[in-house]
Amino acid sequence: MLAGGVGGARFVRGVREAVRRATDAPLANAAIDVIVNTGDDWWLAGLRIAPDHDSLLYTLSGQNDEVRGWGRVGETERVAAELQAHGVTPEWFTLGDLDLGTHIARTAWLRSGLTPSEVSSRLQARWPLGVTLHPATDDEVDTYVVTTDGDRMHFQEWWTRHRAALPAARFEQDGIDDASPSPGALAALEAADIVLVAPSNPVVSIGTILSIPGMRDAVLGAGSGAAPVVGVSPIIAGAAVRGMADACLTAIGVETDAAEVARHYGPRSAGGLLDAWLVGVEDEPLVAGLRADGVAATAVPLWMRDLDTSAALAAAALAAGLEHPRA
């Protein structure tokens, strides 16, 4: 699976549940590997923060604050208040005390020479998830936003401080040309039977993963070329379900529409990525056009309201993969 943070975590939780509920091969006991977006990662207060990784880590280990939607349940912010009083962290980005423990551990391990993948393995050893997370790359490729006014800022400042309200002209990924997919991501793709593209942000989550040199080819060649790629739309009835994906799509000239996002990824038959694509039942009228374009589109309930709806969506995505094997 390719996944970003919050949308990714909900979907991965659904896939894990769908596999747990499956009684027959090939899904029963299937291994689930998640290639995690690293484009939101950044340095703050001398610490390496990996927001999408940790959203997955906390959600899948049952420690997510379900009310707030992100961070750790039972979180306190005593250290955060000190850091803000010192002026070390901005007032628009709060690092909870428990969360800081993760960032300090991550940074300590990085400083001792471990790769981000090895750091991720240590965190998952403490909190077994029932899936395996792989940072998409072990190289440091942070995302910057250039606004239409010509300002350039780290993605986190644009996203969290400005709530994506400053029109973006483009996204820049420092160091991307020299980056490569992590060994775990490549091994997972090579072993894959089905590749699922989570309903994550198509630009700054999935787009960032795919822009790592070698990643797109690895996805298309997954399972020695036999694994179908099934995507799930993060757009329902012309709107981003949660979050601000529309601001990112607008910046790259893609309409906020479930069919246009599929065309942006592209049908495999036309040099794109997708074999199959799930849209919401609200978007059923888009299915015929997508099929004409060469994408096996299906309309299913796309809202992940709870574990059951997430698992049903995941089961539909897995079924689409099983129904559309590649030669």
What is the DSSP secondary structure assignment for residue 7, as one 8-state letter?
H
* 5 forms part of the interface with ligand GDP (CB under 6 A): yes
DSSP, collapsed to helix, strand or coil, labels residue 113 as coil
Member of 40, 54, 157, 283 binding Ca ion (CB under 5 A): 40
Residue burial 71-107, b: 16+ Cβ < 10 Å; e: rest:
bbeebebebbeebbeeeebeeebbbbebbbebbbebb
**C-alpha dihedral sign at 95, 99, 103, 104:** positive
Binding to ligand GDP in span 148-207, by CB under 6 A? 199-201, 205
Span near Ca ion by CB under 5 A; candidates 1-9, 183-191, 230-238, 270-278: 1-9
Residue count (the chain) = 327
Choose the one of Ca ion, ligand GDP, none that binds residue 242, judging by a C-beta under 5 to 8 angstroms depending on kind: ligand GDP
Please report, as a single letter, which amino acid is at residue 53.
Answer: H
* 267 forms part of the interface with Ca ion (CB under 5 A): no
User: Tokens in use for 141?
Assistant: 């490729």
Span near Ca ion by CB under 5 A; candidates 9-17, 46-54, 133-141, 173-181: 46-54
Q: Which residue is nearest to Ca ion (CB)?
A: 5
Member of 13, 16, 32, 52 binding Ca ion (CB under 5 A): 52
Minimum Å gap between C-beta 66 and ligand GDP is: 13
Nearer to ligand GDP by C-beta: 79 or 290? 290
Nearer to ligand GDP by C-beta: 79 or 318? 318
Binding to ligand GDP in span 28-57, by CB under 6 A? 52, 55
- If we measure between CA atoms, which residue out of 259, 235, 260, 232 comes closest to residue 246? 235
* Contact mark string toward ligand GDP, 244..263, x via CB under 6 A: -x------------------
Minimum Å gap between C-beta 224 and ligand GDP is: 28
Choose the one of ligand GDP, Ca ion, none that binds residue 182, judging by a C-beta under 5 to 8 angstroms depending on kind: none
DSSP, collapsed to helix, strand or coil, labels residue 309 as helix
* 142 forms part of the interface with Ca ion (CB under 5 A): no
Span near ligand GDP by CB under 6 A; candidates 24-32, 111-119, 182-190, 234-242: 234-242
Nearer to ligand GDP by C-beta: 71 or 228? 71
What is the DSSP secondary structure assignment for residue 184, as one 8-state letter?
H
* 303 forms part of the interface with ligand GDP (CB under 6 A): yes
Residue 312: exposure state from Cβ atoms within 10 A (0-12, 13-18, ≥19):
middle
Minimum Å gap between C-beta 190 and ligand GDP is: 24
Span near Ca ion by CB under 5 A; candidates 34-42, 163-171, 184-192, 267-275: 34-42
Contact 269, 229 (CB under 8 A): no
Choose the one of Ca ion, ligand GDP, none that binds residue 283, judging by a C-beta under 5 to 8 angstroms depending on kind: none
What stretches of the chain show up as alpha helix (H) in DSSP? 6-21, 51-60, 78-86, 97-111, 116-126, 155-156, 183-191, 206-210, 215-220, 245-251, 258-265, 287-292, 307-323
164: left (phi over 0), alpha (psi -120 to 50) or beta: left
Contact 14, 3 (CB under 8 A): no
Nearer to ligand GDP by C-beta: 39 or 267? 39
Binding to Ca ion in span 2-21, by CB under 5 A? 4-5
Spell out the long-range contacts of 74-83 with Cβ–Cβ below 8 A and sequence spacing 24 or more: 74/98, 75/99, 83/45
The residues of the shown chain that bind ligand GDP, judged by CB under 6 A, are 3-8, 10, 52, 55, 199-201, 205, 232-234, 236, 240-243, 245, 302-304
